[in-house]
Amino acid sequence: MKPASIAAQALGWVDEKTRAIVPPIHPSTTFIRDPDNQYRSGRGYARDQNPTFDQAEAVLTALEGGHASLLFASGMAAATAVFQALAPGDHVLAPKVMYWSLRNWLANFATRWGLRVDFIDMTDADALRRSIQPGKTKLVWIETPANPLWSITDIALSCEIAHAAGAVVAVDSTVATPVLTRPFEFGADIVMHAGTKYLNGHSDVMAGTLTTREDTALWQRVRAIRAQVGGVLGTFEAWLLTRGMRTLFPRVRAASASAQAIAEHFDKHPQVEEVLYPGLGSFKGHAVAAKQMRGGFGGMLSIRVRGAGGGEAAAIAAAAKVQLWKRATSLGGVESLVEHRASVEGAGTPVPTDLLRLSTGIEDTGDLIADLEQALGR
């Protein structure tokens, strides 16, 4: 089956006992031992052996073309598990522009545990070559497109450089999703998603996922961390995640088409200083994005607002005037969201103060454009 069919039918699994096409929810936290004290069912405790995880993990593994997947309680729980699986003294490289919460965690917590973390311009292959330390750098973390400037990193080239130095490459592919990019095809070792976003797609589940290309010692440590630290997804949330992934392809395709139209409409707009979107030919990373994103450039874009009182005041004022777009944090849902991102990230953010981050949903594109037009004063 093509990936869109795999997602729509959630691999076509049917409940063996009831023949239901919608999977059951298993709320039990524990399972019966056999009379001889064995667990031939393969399940002893639901923290890491919950049957409701099985289908969501299998669907994601198939969509990414990997070996196995794990569900976590949040995107942060998934991402930090990879770093926790490293050893004190290990060196890691991460992007200067990336999901702000993970950047803060790396700067303020990972270093206390003995990891050596350097933040670099991951879009610059020469910067990666200069910064990587053969035999010492154990992990290169990539986010592409990178939130909220949507900068693009060449996954294949980064993997070539990292692997030559003996490092593992993990890709945060939350924005691209397996609809648009499959990082394993470009050499990545681990793929991470904030499942809260596009995978679920309905703004009603907090989840994170990891998928591995191969069964490695690092992956086994990540698996053990999930079981022992306990950052696991709830049963109902796992069920909802499976439900959400069934509509992943039409949602992402619709959001991408709408974002492209919005970006083109506001590019060169008199009230807009700049549109940041990989689908624009003028965007710095467009050529690389066109190589590794297939069928669209995602539903996320940012605009930098011009106006009286300076860009920051104009951006906040525009966000205050939207009617259809919702002023809220997050992305990847069916509803369109707008956020003044610098206010959220605070001191030290690399985000321009005149920037509004836009998460395009699946509403009518014309309505979304009209709402932004009136918010900008036109």
- CA–CA distance, 83 with 27 (Å, rounded to integer): 30
Please indicate whether residue 197 is annotated as part of the active site.
Answer: yes
Candidates 103, 182, 197, 341; catalytic one? 197
Q: How far is CA 35 from the centre of its chain?
A: 44
Tokens 């910064």 correspond to 131
Q: Which of 353, 365, 355 is nearest to 324 (CA)?
A: 365
DSSP class of 142: E
User: Can you tell me the distance from the alpha carbon of 60 to that of 71, in angstroms, rounded to the nearest whole number?
Assistant: 10
CB 6 within 8 A of CB 179: no
Contacts by 324-330, CB closer than 8 A, 24 or more apart: 324/363, 324/367, 324/368, 324/371, 325/358, 325/368, 325/371, 325/372, 325/375, 330/196, 330/197, 330/203, 330/359
Set 47, 136, 221, 284: catalytic member: 47
Active-site residue (options: 99, 154, 226, 277): 99
Reply yes or no on whether 172 is catalytic.
yes
Edge-first strand order for the sheet with 168-172 is 68-72, 208-212, 190-193, 168-172, 137-143, 91-95, 116-120
Catalytic hit among 172, 189, 354, 371: 172
Helix, strand, or coil (residue 19): coil
> Any idea which residue has 């592409």 for tokens?
144
Torsion of CA 140, 146, 149, 152, to 10 degrees: 80
Torsion (CA) 229, 235, 236, 242 in degrees, nearest 10: 100
Q: Which residues are catalytic?
A: 47, 99, 172, 197
